[in-house]
Amino acid sequence: MASSSITRRRSSDIEVVDELDAQHLLEMFERLGIDARPAEPLVLSRELEREALARVNARYPDARSAIERLRAEGHHVYVATGGSETNEAALRGAGLASLIDGIFSGHSQHAHKSQPAYWADVPKFVAARAGDCVLVDDRLDYLEAAASVGIVALLLDRKGAHRPESMPSYVTATLRNLAGLPHWVETWTSSHPS
């Protein structure tokens, strides 16, 4: 019962954000003295957001090489985000969109990344067992939710903020950067055959 009320609240949260984004665009038009109003302000707002993000070069230097090595070893790479479909534009801006197999978002999963419901269908969608899926994230709450459905959870701790002795049991390993991910995956898959 609590899960469905949370899902409903999240759904209404998304609707509120959509409404505020459309309203913000109309307010910008008004402040700029533009009399023409778009017929669908939310659609225009999302398109402007995608265009802006597609031009942002937000790449981490280790992301591209890690993804390329994983793909060369035959692994599939997906991105899981709490954001919307505009994240594809951010991946294009980072030069990574062509390297990934797909994107999971809060919209596509109908749940927040901190909820097990977000992760529950991911293994089925990628045609793998949960224990063969690896999530790398810098948020412990996202890792905990993914691990609760059997996904292997790796903490990306770029700043070394988490002490090893206080690491939650659901975190399988900690990475300081993505450069070591392909080696970790290679070691993991050789010791945990499907």
pLDDT at position 36 = 87
Does the pLDDT value for residue 59 go beyond 80? no
* Measured CA distances, 106 to 82, 85, 86, 111 (Å): 5, 9, 11, 5
- Span 102-108, average pLDDT: 88
Same domain as 113, residue 187: yes
Point out the domain boundary residue: 12, 30, 54. 54
- For residue 150, the model assigns a pLDDT of 98
pLDDT, position 60: 63
Lowest mean pLDDT among 13-22, 49-58, 79-88, 170-179: 49-58
Domain endpoint, select from 12, 37, 54: 54
| 5 — pLDDT class (breaks 50, 70, 90) | very low
Same-domain pairing of 27 and 9: yes
Q: Are 71 and 48 in a shared domain?
A: no
State pLDDT tens for residues 116-165. 999 999 999 999 999 999 999 999 999 999 999 999 999 999 888 998 88
How much is the pLDDT for 107? Answer: 83
Q: Does residue 49 sit in the same domain as residue 78? A: no
Q: What is the pLDDT of residue 168?
A: 96
For residues 28 and 119, state if they share a domain: no
Domain end, chosen from 29, 54, 79, is at 54
Q: Do 20 and 80 sit in the same domain of this protein?
A: no
Q: Does residue 93 sit in the same domain as residue 43?
A: no
What CATH number should be reported for the domain holding residue 135?
3.40.50.1000
Same domain, 136 and 170: yes
Residues 15-44, mean pLDDT to the nearest whole number: 86
Residues 51-60, mean pLDDT to the nearest whole number:
57
**For the chain, how many structural domains are there in total?**
2
> How high is the mean pLDDT of the chain?
84
Does 114 lie in the same domain as 28? no
Domain interval for residue 119: 61-191
Highest average pLDDT, of 18-32, 68-82, 86-100, comes from: 68-82
Q: Are residues 88 and 134 in the same domain?
A: yes
Same domain, yes or no, for 36 and 10? yes
For residues 75 and 124, membership in a common domain is answered with: yes
pLDDT at 85 over 70: no
